[in-house]
Structure 1
Amino acid sequence: MASTKNRILNISLWIVQVLLSIMFIMAGLMKLSQPISELSISLPWTTDTPEFLIRFIGLSELLGGIGFVLPALLRIKPKLTAYAGIGISIIMLLASVLHTYRGEYSSIIFNFLILGMAVYVAWGRLKKIPIEPKK
Protein backbone atom coordinates (compact mmCIF):
# COMPACT_ATOMS: atom_id res chain seq x y z
CA MET A 1 0.00 0.00 0.00
CA ALA A 2 2.80 2.44 0.86
CA SER A 3 4.42 1.66 -2.48
CA THR A 4 1.20 2.58 -4.33
CA LYS A 5 0.90 5.84 -2.37
CA ASN A 6 4.51 6.72 -3.17
CA ARG A 7 3.95 5.93 -6.85
CA ILE A 8 0.86 8.18 -6.96
CA LEU A 9 2.71 10.93 -5.10
CA ASN A 10 5.68 10.64 -7.46
CA ILE A 11 3.42 10.88 -10.52
CA SER A 12 1.59 13.87 -9.10
CA LEU A 13 4.89 15.58 -8.32
CA TRP A 14 6.08 15.03 -11.90
CA ILE A 15 2.82 16.44 -13.28
CA VAL A 16 3.09 19.55 -11.11
CA GLN A 17 6.79 19.93 -11.96
CA VAL A 18 6.10 19.78 -15.70
CA LEU A 19 3.16 22.20 -15.50
CA LEU A 20 5.16 24.71 -13.46
CA SER A 21 8.16 24.25 -15.74
CA ILE A 22 6.19 25.03 -18.88
CA MET A 23 4.48 27.99 -17.29
CA PHE A 24 7.64 29.56 -15.87
CA ILE A 25 9.77 28.96 -18.95
CA MET A 26 7.12 30.68 -21.07
CA ALA A 27 6.70 33.55 -18.59
CA GLY A 28 10.45 34.00 -18.24
CA LEU A 29 11.07 34.01 -21.98
CA MET A 30 8.28 36.53 -22.45
CA LYS A 31 9.75 38.91 -19.86
CA LEU A 32 13.25 38.49 -21.30
CA SER A 33 12.43 38.87 -24.97
CA GLN A 34 9.53 41.30 -25.38
CA PRO A 35 9.86 45.08 -25.32
CA ILE A 36 8.42 46.66 -22.18
CA SER A 37 5.77 48.45 -24.25
CA GLU A 38 4.42 45.09 -25.40
CA LEU A 39 4.69 43.53 -21.93
CA SER A 40 2.68 46.37 -20.41
CA ILE A 41 -0.35 45.36 -22.47
CA SER A 42 -0.70 42.01 -20.70
CA LEU A 43 1.24 42.84 -17.51
CA PRO A 44 0.22 46.32 -16.31
CA TRP A 45 2.70 46.27 -13.41
CA THR A 46 5.58 46.49 -15.90
CA THR A 47 4.73 50.10 -16.81
CA ASP A 48 6.13 51.48 -13.55
CA THR A 49 8.75 48.81 -12.80
CA PRO A 50 12.40 49.33 -13.74
CA GLU A 51 13.35 47.33 -16.83
CA PHE A 52 16.30 45.63 -15.11
CA LEU A 53 13.92 44.27 -12.46
CA ILE A 54 11.50 42.94 -15.08
CA ARG A 55 14.37 41.22 -16.90
CA PHE A 56 15.74 39.83 -13.60
CA ILE A 57 12.30 38.42 -12.76
CA GLY A 58 12.16 36.88 -16.23
CA LEU A 59 15.58 35.28 -15.81
CA SER A 60 14.60 33.96 -12.37
CA GLU A 61 11.40 32.49 -13.78
CA LEU A 62 13.25 30.91 -16.71
CA LEU A 63 15.85 29.31 -14.45
CA GLY A 64 13.17 28.19 -11.99
CA GLY A 65 11.19 26.63 -14.83
CA ILE A 66 14.23 24.73 -16.05
CA GLY A 67 15.05 23.75 -12.48
CA PHE A 68 11.65 22.15 -11.93
CA VAL A 69 12.40 19.38 -14.43
CA LEU A 70 15.95 19.17 -15.75
CA PRO A 71 17.93 18.25 -12.59
CA ALA A 72 15.35 15.62 -11.58
CA LEU A 73 15.07 14.22 -15.09
CA LEU A 74 18.83 13.94 -15.60
CA ARG A 75 19.39 12.98 -11.95
CA ILE A 76 22.28 15.45 -11.82
CA LYS A 77 22.02 17.48 -8.60
CA PRO A 78 18.30 16.58 -8.29
CA LYS A 79 17.95 18.64 -5.09
CA LEU A 80 17.99 21.65 -7.40
CA THR A 81 14.40 20.72 -8.30
CA ALA A 82 13.35 21.24 -4.68
CA TYR A 83 15.37 24.45 -4.54
CA ALA A 84 13.57 25.66 -7.67
CA GLY A 85 10.34 25.11 -5.75
CA ILE A 86 11.64 27.20 -2.87
CA GLY A 87 12.85 29.96 -5.21
CA ILE A 88 9.58 30.13 -7.11
CA SER A 89 7.72 30.17 -3.78
CA ILE A 90 9.67 33.28 -2.81
CA ILE A 91 8.92 34.89 -6.18
CA MET A 92 5.20 34.16 -5.71
CA LEU A 93 5.22 35.65 -2.20
CA LEU A 94 6.88 38.80 -3.51
CA ALA A 95 4.45 38.92 -6.45
CA SER A 96 1.50 38.76 -4.06
CA VAL A 97 2.96 41.68 -2.10
CA LEU A 98 3.35 43.68 -5.33
CA HIS A 99 -0.22 42.90 -6.44
CA THR A 100 -1.56 43.81 -2.99
CA TYR A 101 0.31 47.12 -3.12
CA ARG A 102 -1.12 47.81 -6.59
CA GLY A 103 -4.65 46.79 -5.56
CA GLU A 104 -4.68 43.89 -8.05
CA TYR A 105 -6.37 41.50 -5.66
CA SER A 106 -7.60 39.05 -8.29
CA SER A 107 -3.96 38.25 -9.19
CA ILE A 108 -3.17 37.22 -5.63
CA ILE A 109 -5.34 34.09 -5.87
CA PHE A 110 -3.25 32.89 -8.81
CA ASN A 111 -0.02 33.73 -6.91
CA PHE A 112 -1.10 31.60 -3.96
CA LEU A 113 -2.16 28.72 -6.21
CA ILE A 114 1.30 28.68 -7.82
CA LEU A 115 2.91 29.16 -4.40
CA GLY A 116 1.11 26.06 -3.12
CA MET A 117 2.21 24.03 -6.13
CA ALA A 118 5.83 25.15 -5.74
CA VAL A 119 5.83 24.36 -2.01
CA TYR A 120 4.37 20.94 -2.83
CA VAL A 121 7.29 20.24 -5.21
CA ALA A 122 9.85 21.48 -2.68
CA TRP A 123 8.34 19.35 0.12
CA GLY A 124 7.89 16.30 -2.08
CA ARG A 125 11.39 16.36 -3.53
CA LEU A 126 13.18 17.29 -0.30
CA LYS A 127 11.28 15.23 2.26
CA LYS A 128 8.82 12.71 0.86
CA ILE A 129 10.21 11.30 -2.41
CA PRO A 130 13.66 12.71 -3.13
CA ILE A 131 15.23 11.72 -6.42
CA GLU A 132 18.57 10.02 -5.99
CA PRO A 133 21.49 11.44 -7.98
CA LYS A 134 23.02 9.40 -10.75
CA LYS A 135 26.09 7.48 -9.62
Structure 2
Amino acid sequence: MKKSASFKLINTALWVAQSLLAICLAWSSYMKLSQPVERLSSMWSWTAEVSPLLITFTAIVDLCAALGLTLPSLLHIQPRLTLISAVGLILLMICASVFHILRGETAEIGPNIIFAMIAVFIIWGRSGKDRY
Protein backbone atom coordinates (compact mmCIF):
# COMPACT_ATOMS: atom_id res chain seq x y z
CA MET A 1 0.00 0.00 0.00
CA LYS A 2 1.35 3.38 -1.03
CA LYS A 3 1.60 5.90 1.78
CA SER A 4 0.10 9.34 1.27
CA ALA A 5 2.06 12.57 1.38
CA SER A 6 0.30 13.58 4.60
CA PHE A 7 1.30 10.27 6.21
CA LYS A 8 4.92 10.87 5.26
CA LEU A 9 4.80 14.46 6.50
CA ILE A 10 3.34 13.51 9.88
CA ASN A 11 5.71 10.56 10.24
CA THR A 12 8.65 12.87 9.53
CA ALA A 13 7.35 15.42 12.04
CA LEU A 14 7.03 12.65 14.64
CA TRP A 15 10.59 11.50 14.03
CA VAL A 16 11.86 15.07 14.32
CA ALA A 17 9.93 15.51 17.58
CA GLN A 18 11.17 12.20 18.99
CA SER A 19 14.75 12.94 17.95
CA LEU A 20 14.79 16.48 19.36
CA LEU A 21 13.37 15.32 22.68
CA ALA A 22 15.83 12.43 22.81
CA ILE A 23 18.78 14.73 22.07
CA CYS A 24 17.70 17.23 24.75
CA LEU A 25 17.18 14.49 27.32
CA ALA A 26 20.44 12.71 26.45
CA TRP A 27 22.33 16.01 26.73
CA SER A 28 20.70 16.72 30.09
CA SER A 29 21.62 13.25 31.29
CA TYR A 30 25.19 13.62 30.10
CA MET A 31 25.59 16.98 31.82
CA LYS A 32 24.12 15.74 35.11
CA LEU A 33 26.38 12.67 35.11
CA SER A 34 29.61 14.29 33.93
CA GLN A 35 29.73 17.81 35.36
CA PRO A 36 30.44 18.92 38.92
CA VAL A 37 27.55 20.45 40.86
CA GLU A 38 29.22 23.88 40.73
CA ARG A 39 29.01 23.88 36.94
CA LEU A 40 25.51 22.40 36.89
CA SER A 41 24.24 25.03 39.32
CA SER A 42 25.18 27.77 36.86
CA MET A 43 22.69 26.20 34.41
CA TRP A 44 20.15 24.74 36.84
CA SER A 45 20.14 26.45 40.23
CA TRP A 46 18.21 23.60 41.86
CA THR A 47 21.19 21.24 41.46
CA ALA A 48 23.13 23.14 44.15
CA GLU A 49 20.34 22.61 46.66
CA VAL A 50 19.46 18.92 46.27
CA SER A 51 21.18 15.64 46.99
CA PRO A 52 23.67 14.40 44.38
CA LEU A 53 21.60 11.20 44.38
CA LEU A 54 18.60 13.15 43.05
CA ILE A 55 20.75 14.62 40.29
CA THR A 56 21.99 11.14 39.35
CA PHE A 57 18.46 9.73 39.51
CA THR A 58 17.10 12.44 37.20
CA ALA A 59 20.01 11.83 34.82
CA ILE A 60 19.16 8.14 34.62
CA VAL A 61 15.46 8.89 34.10
CA ASP A 62 16.36 11.38 31.34
CA LEU A 63 18.56 8.80 29.62
CA CYS A 64 15.87 6.11 29.83
CA ALA A 65 13.34 8.53 28.34
CA ALA A 66 15.72 9.44 25.50
CA LEU A 67 16.29 5.80 24.63
CA GLY A 68 12.63 4.88 25.08
CA LEU A 69 11.43 7.64 22.77
CA THR A 70 13.58 6.51 19.87
CA LEU A 71 14.89 2.95 20.00
CA PRO A 72 11.62 0.94 20.04
CA SER A 73 10.22 2.72 16.98
CA LEU A 74 13.57 2.84 15.23
CA LEU A 75 14.26 -0.86 15.70
CA HIS A 76 10.60 -1.90 15.26
CA ILE A 77 10.84 -3.84 18.53
CA GLN A 78 7.92 -3.25 20.89
CA PRO A 79 7.05 0.19 19.45
CA ARG A 80 4.44 0.63 22.19
CA LEU A 81 7.41 1.29 24.50
CA THR A 82 7.73 4.64 22.71
CA LEU A 83 4.20 5.47 23.89
CA ILE A 84 5.01 4.35 27.42
CA SER A 85 8.14 6.52 27.38
CA ALA A 86 6.14 9.51 26.15
CA VAL A 87 3.58 9.04 28.94
CA GLY A 88 6.42 8.72 31.44
CA LEU A 89 7.96 11.91 30.08
CA ILE A 90 4.68 13.77 30.56
CA LEU A 91 4.55 12.59 34.17
CA LEU A 92 8.19 13.60 34.65
CA MET A 93 7.50 17.07 33.24
CA ILE A 94 4.49 17.48 35.54
CA CYS A 95 6.66 16.52 38.53
CA ALA A 96 9.43 18.87 37.39
CA SER A 97 6.92 21.71 36.96
CA VAL A 98 5.49 21.15 40.44
CA PHE A 99 9.04 21.03 41.85
CA HIS A 100 9.87 24.40 40.26
CA ILE A 101 6.56 25.98 41.26
CA LEU A 102 7.05 24.91 44.88
CA ARG A 103 10.51 26.50 44.79
CA GLY A 104 9.09 29.76 43.41
CA GLU A 105 10.72 29.16 40.02
CA THR A 106 7.65 29.41 37.81
CA ALA A 107 9.73 31.03 35.08
CA GLU A 108 11.64 27.75 34.79
CA ILE A 109 8.72 25.55 33.71
CA GLY A 110 8.56 26.64 30.06
CA PRO A 111 10.76 23.79 28.78
CA ASN A 112 8.78 21.31 30.89
CA ILE A 113 5.53 22.42 29.26
CA ILE A 114 7.04 22.30 25.76
CA PHE A 115 8.51 18.82 26.33
CA ALA A 116 5.14 17.58 27.64
CA MET A 117 3.32 19.03 24.61
CA ILE A 118 5.75 17.33 22.24
CA ALA A 119 5.24 14.06 24.11
CA VAL A 120 1.45 14.44 23.67
CA PHE A 121 2.03 14.88 19.92
CA ILE A 122 4.13 11.69 19.89
CA ILE A 123 1.41 9.77 21.73
CA TRP A 124 -1.21 11.03 19.30
CA GLY A 125 0.87 10.14 16.26
CA ARG A 126 2.20 6.78 17.40
CA SER A 127 -1.02 5.36 18.88
CA GLY A 128 -4.21 4.04 17.36
CA LYS A 129 -4.78 1.74 14.43
CA ASP A 130 -3.84 4.42 11.90
CA ARG A 131 -0.61 5.36 13.63
CA TYR A 132 2.17 6.99 11.71
TM-score w.r.t. the length of structure 1 is 0.87
Task: Provide the aligned C-alpha RMSD in A.
Answer: 1.6
Matches within 5 A, 1:11-90: 11-90=12-91
Q: Which runs of 5+ in 1 are unaligned?
A: 131-135
1:82–1:125 Cα contact (<8 Å) kept = yes
In structure 2, which of residues 114, 128, 131 is the aligned counterpart of residue 129 of structure 1? 131
| Cα distance per residue 1:76-114 (max 9 Å; x no partner) | 111111111111111111111111111212211221111
Inter-partner Cα distance in structure 2 for 1:65 and 1:76: 16
Between Structure 1 and Structure 2, the one with more helix by share is 1
- 2:105 is the alignment partner of 1:104: yes
Between 1:84-93 and 1:118-127, the stretch displaced more is 118-127
Give distance in 1, aligned partners of 2:92 and 2:124: 17
CA distance in 2, matches of 1:120, 1:87: 14
Supply the distance in 1 between the matched residues of 2:4 and 2:107 (Cα, whole angstroms): 40
Name the counterpart of 1:120: 121
SS at match of 1:22: helix
Aligned partner of 2:5: which letter? T
Q: Which runs of 4+ in 1 moved over 4 A?
A: none
Number of residue pairs aligned between Structure 1 and Structure 2: 129
Kindly indicate whether residue 6 of structure 2 is the aligned counterpart of residue 5 of structure 1. yes
Structure 2 counterpart of 1:133: none
Distance 1:105 1:27 in 2: 20
- The one-letter code of the counterpart of 2:15 is W
Q: Which amino acid aligns with 2:105?
A: E
Moved more, 46-55 or 57-66: 46-55
Q: Tell me, yes or no, if the aligned pair for 1:82 and 1:123 is still in contact at 8 Å.
A: no
For 1:30 and 1:92, the matched residues in 2 are separated by 18
